Copies of this chain bind each other. A is one copy, B any other.
Amino acid sequence: MLDLDFLNNNYQDNRPASEIVAESIAIDILTGVLRPGQRIIEHTLCDKYAMSRTPIRGILNQLSSFGLIRLIPNRGAFVTGVTERDIDDFFYMKSLLYPQCVKWAIERITTEEMAMLEETFDFMEFYTATEDFEKMKKINHGFEAIIYNASHNAELEKTLLRYDFFIRYANINIKYPLNYLPAVLEEHRAIFMAFKDKKPDAGYEAAQIHAYKSMLRRK
């Protein structure tokens, strides 16, 4: 599967080669090296990544399910465009689903998952204090990924991860002011406290507020 952490490319690469290549192609699409509408010839990818067509075709299937390319039978793969309006839409769609995801997660989270969430939140406090922006971005995604998973609804988890994928892409070049960090931490703290207190509705509201303010910060 496509690992969403790839934009922070400082991970251990003991994963399947096909995953690494899939990410590389995804980056090429998102950064405009491969342009919207452009046709992708399988053989050129084979040459570039020194792979045969079989795994390349599997990768193209994955990218297709991720919405980055469009596969037309007997015609090939074509790059999908992502507009600014699409990104706005993703923010909005996330603001609709995320609060309910938090609510379900609070109702359904396991002891192990809760322990992970607590540990992650500790790191968030630490990195906010040390003003480590890159680490913070990474840990924020980890925090939300745990919540998505704790909703115990695989489809909802995949949906939100997909939205984040595009949202993160949109934010890749945006440099938020450093004083956003404490504000984001407090929004996350409100969500975290709802988990601690096992209050689903409080979590729902806190998530709504966070999603709304995230949209405002984008502007």
List chain A positions with a Cβ less than 8 A from chain B: 1, 16, 54, 57-58, 61-62, 64-67, 71, 73, 80, 86, 89-90, 92-93, 96-97, 100, 104, 153-156, 158-159, 162-163, 166
Query: Which B residue's beta carbon lies closest to that of A104?
Result: B89
Q: How far is the CB of A218 from chain B (nearest CB, A)?
A: 17
| Pair A153/B86 contact, Cβ less than 8 Å | yes
Residues of B contacting A155 with CB < 8 Å?
67, 86, 89-90, 93, 162-163, 166
Residues of B contacting A154 with CB < 8 Å?
67, 80
Residues of B contacting A100 with CB < 8 Å?
92-93, 96
Q: How far is the CB of A30 from chain B (nearest CB, A)?
A: 14
A-B contact pairs, 30 of them (CB 8 A): A1-B71, A16-B73, A54-B54, A57-B58, A58-B58, A58-B61, A61-B61, A61-B62, A61-B65, A64-B65, A65-B65, A67-B154, A86-B153, A89-B104, A89-B153, A89-B155, A89-B156, A90-B155, A92-B100, A93-B97, A93-B100, A93-B153, A93-B155, A93-B156, A96-B96, A96-B100, A97-B97, A155-B163, A155-B166, A159-B159
Residues of B contacting A71 with CB < 8 Å?
1
Bound: A65/B89 CA distance, A: 22
Q: How far is the CB of A125 from chain B (nearest CB, A)?
A: 31
Residues of B contacting A90 with CB < 8 Å?
155
Query: Which B residue's beta carbon lies closest to that of A59?
Result: B61
Q: With A16-B73, A93-B100 given, can you name 7 additional A-B contacts, CB distance below 8 Å?
A: A61-B65, A92-B100, A93-B153, A93-B159, A96-B96, A96-B97, A155-B166
Bound: A89/B154 CA distance, A: 11
Bound: A57/B97 CA distance, A: 32
Query: Which B residue's beta carbon lies closest to that of A15?
Result: B73
Residues of B contacting A57 with CB < 8 Å?
58
Question: Nearest 7 A-B pairs (CB), nearest first?
Answer: A65-B65, A61-B61, A96-B96, A89-B153, A16-B73, A67-B155, A159-B159
